[in-house]
Chains A and B, each alone.
Chain A
């Protein structure tokens, strides 16, 4: 059953990728901004622009262009960045580890904080306080959060660095995941510096995740705790802690899990802002720079990669939900 489910979802994934490639391609063909012109510069003569246009394959018929595009996609070729003049795939491989590291840290911290707030709210019955806190935090634009954190923890207190990924010059590890490299090489200074630099951006990204996770856990718990089987468990003389962990937690996990899936989608967008504000050399910063220079192949390449990642994460979440609730059937 699981195998059939996976096959179905993977075919679905391919379908979605086809749709995304179509969207991306259509966007490419109707762009008003001229990448050839932006490569050549505003003062380049028309012949130069035309030559670059030819090099970029912009003069072929639309259908052929799409065919070429898909063909190249299948070979892992996402096109050439107009800005860096490198293959987009190479650019992405270079900057993806930094983003992945940051996103995982943010998810970890965000889910942890969210669950913590929800548990606090449940155990200490501070519903009104937690509600106002969550509504407030949920209203903060991500760049305001970033600015306030930088202002306080870097400018005023100087506890954390205000930008960058690591404080050690010319450090290059085997995996490009700073934390992992530090552990692999046994370099305590690398681990510390990486964590130190990661703290503020990860916390910024974690705030919206924590807010929605906390809300979703709270409302799921609220529903579950009113179920007769919870009253039954109380009637057995179990402690509140045991009721929460053994009975309520698993029964209320579905909605928060789905929320994590949704949040991964929003995480990409916030990543752009946070990497821009913290000068974090990842995919987000790369995309922001691509926006600024109308580097469409780069923007679209990153979108495709993120899209695939998003769908992959959501398949994992579906599987987790089915594993937790025997009533969910994988179809």
Chain B
């Protein structure tokens, strides 16, 4: 991966952070020092060495809950991006490569999704279907993939009109080989950059859902919900609402830095 070497120090750190966050998310149950669901200390303990993030209103270790919270935000976030990317790239590829009525139908469909106020409808969908992670996931994916479809289609169309693809067609390349070797690689840089930056957007939206009570039900340590439930503690036990929110900030910052670094590297090529 030479792209990594072309990046500056901050971007490299951002990518290492992305990897570290993913590792934490995967290993969360083993990394959390205490059981996130059990009372392990006095309530409302301020941050200390034993409990770096303090303890919550019923004495649970906040750090352990936040680590679990990272898992509950980060993994669904990545899943949303990957699933949307897969659907979007496939649809965009089909639309761009086949043209005609297929393109027409798929473009109309993606256009429709794009003119709707997506976050709002996703909220309504989850509110209607009932709160929960799976519903949230589905609702966001439904409104997320059309962006990737549009990007892929635009890049594919741009590639297809370029002389190198015409030359390949004259060389006798066609069908799947043309798509895979000559068209799709043209779309990957843009898709990669967009998807990396979108990890931050999805994490923000997930935390928004969770804040509004549309995530997992009460005892689950979701970051947004933890802040929402302890809003009134802000002036007395500031760490209760601030710590989970600050962790969301760190997650997004890492994704944004990495995406931005990737973009400047890709543009520099």
Contact = CB atoms under 8 A, between A and B. Distances in A.
A296 B128 CA distance: 7
A20 B255 CA distance: 33
A71 interface: no
Interface SS of chain B: helix, strand, loop or mixed?
helix
A93 interface: no
Contacts of B205: 269
Contacts of B255: 139
Given A139-B200, A151-B234, A300-B124, A144 B248 contact: yes
Nearest to B204: A141
Contacts of A272: 123, 208, 212
Interface stretch (A22-30, A182-190, A248-256): A22-30
B128 to A, nearest CB: 4
Contact of B256 (A139, A265, A288): A139
Contact of B119 (A20, A31, A144, A266): A266
Contacts of A144: 227, 242, 245-246, 248-249
Interface in B194-220: 200, 204-205, 207-208, 211-214
B216 to A, nearest CB: 15
Contact of A143 (B118, B125, B200, B228): B228
A88 to B, nearest CB: 13
Interface string B107-142: 000001001111111011101111000000000000
B224 interface: yes
A286 B106 CA distance: 36
Interface string A145-163: 0011011000100000000
A267 B248 CA distance: 19
Given A19-B116, A138-B200, A299 B127 contact: yes
A296 B124 CA distance: 8
B245 A314 contact: no
A20 B128 contact: no
B117 A291 contact: no
Contacts of A155: 234-235
Nearest to A292: B213
B128 A27 contact: yes
B260 A135 contact: yes
A306 B127 contact: no
A20 B121 contact: yes
A57 to B, nearest CB: 17
Given A144-B246, A291-B212, A306 B120 contact: yes
A138 B256 contact: yes
B121 A307 contact: yes
Given A144-B245, A144-B246, A147-B241, A303 B212 contact: no
Contacts, number: 134
A303 B121 CA distance: 7
Interface string B158-177: 00000000000000000000
A273 B208 contact: yes
Contact of A139 (B125, B130, B252): B252
Nearest to A294: B127
A138 B130 CA distance: 30
Nearest to A28: B128
B32 to A, nearest CB: 22
A276 B242 CA distance: 16
B253 interface: yes
A295 to B, nearest CB: 9
Interface string A115-155: 00000000000000001000110111111100110110001
Contacts of A148: 242
B257 interface: yes
B253 A136 contact: yes
A291 B214 CA distance: 8
A299 B124 contact: yes
Nearest to B122: A269
Given A131-B260, A147-B227, A16 B121 contact: no
Contacts of B211: 141, 143, 273
A310 interface: yes
B242 A16 contact: no
A138 B257 CA distance: 10
Interface of B: 112, 115-121, 123-125, 127-130, 200, 204-205, 207-208, 211-214, 224, 227-228, 231, 234-235, 238, 241-242, 245-246, 248-249, 252-253, 255-257, 260
Interface of A: 12, 16, 19-20, 23-24, 27-28, 30-33, 131, 135-136, 138-144, 147-148, 150-151, 155, 265-266, 268-270, 272-273, 276-277, 288, 290-292, 294, 296, 299-300, 303, 306-307, 310-311, 314
Given A33-B128, A33-B130, A273-B212, 8 more contacts: A32-B129, A143-B211, A144-B245, A147-B245, A265-B119, A269-B120, A299-B124, A306-B117
| Nearest 6 interchain pairs by C-beta | A139-B252, A144-B245, A27-B128, A139-B253, A269-B119, A310-B117
